[in-house]
Amino acid sequence: MITKTPSSVNRTPAVIAVVLFAVAAITYWDASHMATRATYGMSASAASYFVALLFLVLGIGHLVSAFKPSDIDIEMADWKAVAWIGLALAGLVVSIWLGGGFILGSTLLFAFTARAFGRKALLVDVCLGAVIGMFVFLLFNKLLTLALPQGPLERLF
């Protein structure tokens, strides 16, 4: 269950260090391009520079810790399950993006998430998801008159 790092360098903190350096660079770049200056006191860029510096320090910290033995055990992950949830969220986002509406989106979200947890009865879950989505939609749109994104399904009501 537990991966032992093969080499003397811990990969995870090293990768994170690189990410932190990148974020620091982006933040620095963004701050240096700010045109508006405050007339009195500090400008908006001051906080950005501070955070960039903080990231730089943390990046160095991670780099140092990459050469120390790891103090955490990383479990093996079931990436297939993670991918299913990714698909579930993508289903919701795409459905709303392309005008598929809220009910379709939450149906996909529900069914695919259930699939990620190992359920095989996709049809049952699709129905259940649709019922929940419809219930929520009716509750919001009809009872509370709050506009959730509408698609072909929603227009039937």
Partner 1 sequence: MRTFMKYGLLAAVVGSIVGLADGQASAQNLELTITAPAGAGGGWDSAARSLQEAMRASGNAKSVQVVNVPGAGGTVGLAQFIGSAKGSPNQLLVAGITLVGASISNKSPVDLTKVTPLARLTGDPLVIVVPKASPIKTIADLQATIKKDVAKTIWVGGSAGGADHILAALVTKASGADPSKVNYVAYSGGGESLAAMLGGQATAGVSGYGEWEGQIKSGDLRALAISYPEPIPGIEAKPLKAQGLDIELVNWRGIFAGPNVQGKDLDALKAAIDKTVKSEQWKTILKTRGWSDYYAPGDEFKTFIASETDRVRTVLKSIGLAD
Partner 2 sequence: MESISFLLDGFSLAIQPANLLYAAIGVIIGTAVGVLPGIGPALTVALLLPVTFKLDPGGSIIMFAGIYYGGMYGGSTTAILLNTPGESASVVTALEGNKMARAGRGGPALATAAVGSFVAALIATLGLAFLAPMLVKVAVQFGPWDYFGLMLIAFVTVSATFGSSPLRGLTSLAFGLWLGLMGIDQLTGQARLTFGVPELLDGVEVTTLAVGLFAIGEALLVASRHLRKPEQPIPVKGSIWMTKEDWKRSWKPWLRGTVIGFPIGALPAGGAEIPTFLSYNIERKLSRKPEEFGYGAIEGVAGPEAANNASAAGTLVPLLTLGLPTSATAAVMLAGFQQYNIQPGPLLFTQHADLVWGLVASLFIANVMLLVLNLPLVGIWVKLLKIPLPWLYAGILVFASMGTIAANPSVVELLLLSGFGAVGFLMRRYDYPIAPAVVGLILGPLADSALRRSLQMSLGDPMILFQHPGSAIMIGIATIALVAPFIFRGLSRFQQDED
Kindly identify the residues of this chain, within the stretch 38-67, that bind partner 1 according to CB under 8 A: 39-40
In whole angstroms, the minimum distance from the beta carbon of 137 to partner 2 comes to 9
Q: Is 146 in the site for partner 2 (CB under 8 A)?
A: yes
Q: Is 9 in the site for partner 2 (CB under 8 A)?
A: no
In whole angstroms, the minimum distance from the beta carbon of 156 to partner 2 comes to 19
- Torsion 43-44-49-54 (CA) sign: positive
User: Among residues 94, 147, 152, 157, which is the contact residue for partner 1, using CB under 8 A?
Assistant: 147
d(CA 5, CA 83): 25
Please return the burial class of 29, using the count of CB atoms within 10 Å of its CB with bins 0-12, 13-18 and 19+: exposed
Q: Is 62 in the site for partner 2 (CB under 8 A)?
A: yes
Side-chain half-sphere of 61: how many Cα atoms within 13 Å?
A: 7
Residues 6+ apart with CB under 8 A from 64: none
In whole angstroms, the minimum distance from the beta carbon of 54 to partner 1 comes to 23
Binding site residues, partner 1, CB under 8 A: 35-37, 39-40, 144-147
